[in-house]
Structure 1
Amino acid sequence: LIEKTVFPAYKLVCQTQIPTAGVSSGSNVDSESGSSSVDRSFIYLPKELFEMLASAGPYLYRDALLLQKTTRVLRAYYLCAMELVSDGDGAFSSRSVTIGNQNPRLHLKDARLRIEEALGTCLLPSLQLIPANPAVGQEIWELMSLLPYEVRYRLYGEWERDDERFPMILAARQTARLDTRRILKRLAKENLKQLGRMVAKLAHANPMTVLRTIVHQIEAYRDMIAPVVDAFKYLTQLEYDILEYVVIERLAQGGREKLKDDGLNLSDWLQSLASFWGHLVVV
């Protein structure tokens, strides 16, 4: 049912180049029909699709191709909602029937809430059950990059908490944690390229667990910073964004002293974390 619902929109996405949000449609006019690119690429998705995605939850991982198609359609849907607002009332009046006579800004608000729900209940949980597939992660990042960082970080936090409802996700998380620790114990300059790719492969499938485990290890073992930073060159944009969230969360976490007993020097964990982030930014 999900595939049948997204197929018309996906076909339109494949045939039409979705414009970047904020670009005026008046500058891109079809020479034959005189219609703008937004008119030819307008995407509307029924609420039933989002209900089906919420019901499917993490089980959408069973069809990676459908997951990619759905993510791509959701991105086009959100971009079109943003275009309605940027184009003003003129664009709205020509599509008032299509969006149910809804104000463009209200339509954008509803679209954003639906996108957030789809990411939190279906797309992100499904990602960590798929064997390492950076293409799926990149599609999800293309969608998430349209959202403010506050929303992305909230989704990451909810992602970790909601995983506890599904035993198979807990099992995948535990397996990823153990595999990450096993690889980190063997990580050295001599095998950096091989094991670095293995770390990235684990992160493609379960980025939150893998990156959190690595950050915890770096806080305890400062000598791991250099090889880990070199291994991170294989990470994707989504994984770097999650890494930023993990580091910020660790810095903001209470219950740990930031200074040593002398009250002058920084604690070892904070020095390690700061050194790690400094090396990563330089690279």
Structure 2
Amino acid sequence: NHGLPAAVFKSPPVPAIGKGMRVVREFRELRVEVFPILRSMGPYLAHDPVLIAKVIRLGTAFMKERKMAGCPTDMEPLYCGFLAVIDEVVLPSLSTMEGNCCMAEELWTMLKHVPYTHRYRLYAQWKNDTYSQHPILIKIKSRALDRTRYIM
């Protein structure tokens, strides 16, 4: 058990490329139209920091709306979708970006609306599991360890 809702680890299939995407006008459409594409991009979304900032801002708006509505159960699948995007895309992308404190601040504005138990579980997964899931993150971690050893 990861400590996060089980729905975080379930996602709809990625839409076929070239079929065109519908314009998304409501939060609930993100789960089907946008999240699968983002999750397939993983840490490579770091190449488009503007898109990451937009995703984070959407997440912030959703988290605020969810909090004001009192965490209704009909928003649970979308909440889990946002947690999955944070876990699989945003945090790994943040790791691959050269120091971007503005992006970290944007991310905090979203994460502060997430219950601390889920937030710290995301941090733990980022620290312990995420770096072994993508070759680019393995390279970044080993480079950081080499730099640390050099300085020590």
Pairwise TM-score range, normalised by the shorter structure = 0.7 to 0.9
Instruction: Provide the residue aligned with 1:147 in structure 2.
Output: 114
> Given the alignment of the two structures, is residue 170 of structure 1 paired with residue 147 of structure 2, yes or no?
no
What are the superposed Cα offsets for residues 140-195 of structure 1, whole Å, 9 maximum, x if unpaired? 11111111221112112222313212111101011112223434x3xxxxxxxxxx
Which protein has greater RCO, CA pairs closer than 8 Å, 6+ apart?
2
Distance 2:67 2:77 in 1: 11
SS class of match (1:128): helix
The aligned length equals 130
Q: CA deviation at 1:83?
A: 2.3
Contact 1:78 1:115 in 2 (8 A): no
Contact 2:59 2:110 in 1 (8 A): yes
Instruction: Provide the residue aligned with 2:150 in structure 1.
Output: 182
SS class of match (1:179): helix
Distance 2:24 2:76 in 1: 23
Distance 1:56 1:171 in 2: 18
Contact 1:60 1:126 in 2 (8 A): yes
Q: CA deviation at 1:8?
A: 7.1
Closer, same or farther in 2 for the Cα pair 1:8/1:49, shift >3 Å?
closer
Q: What TM-score, normalized to structure 1?
A: 0.42
Distance 1:144 1:75 in 2: 8
> Given the alignment of the two structures, is residue 65 of structure 1 paired with residue 33 of structure 2, yes or no?
no
Instruction: Provide the residue aligned with 2:41 in structure 1.
Output: 56
Q: CA deviation at 1:45?
A: 4.4
Gaps of at least 5 residues in structure 2 are 1-16
What are the superposed Cα offsets for residues 228-265 of structure 1, whole Å, 9 maximum, x if unpaired? xxxxxxxxxxxxxxxxxxxxxxxxxxxxxxxxxxxxxx
- Percent identical among aligned pairs is 26
Gaps of at least 5 residues in structure 1 are 10-42, 86-103, 186-283
Instruction: Provide the residue aligned with 1:115 in structure 2.
Output: 82
Q: CA RMSD in A?
A: 2.4
Structure 2 counterparts to residues 17-166 of structure 1, below 5 A: 44-46=27-29, 47=31, 48-85=33-70, 105-159=72-126, 160-166=128-134
Distance 1:66 1:179 in 2: 30
SS class of match (1:146): coil
- 4+ long deviations beyond 6 Å: none
Contact 2:132 2:138 in 1 (8 A): yes
Q: What TM-score, normalized to structure 2?
A: 0.74
Distance 1:182 1:153 in 2: 30
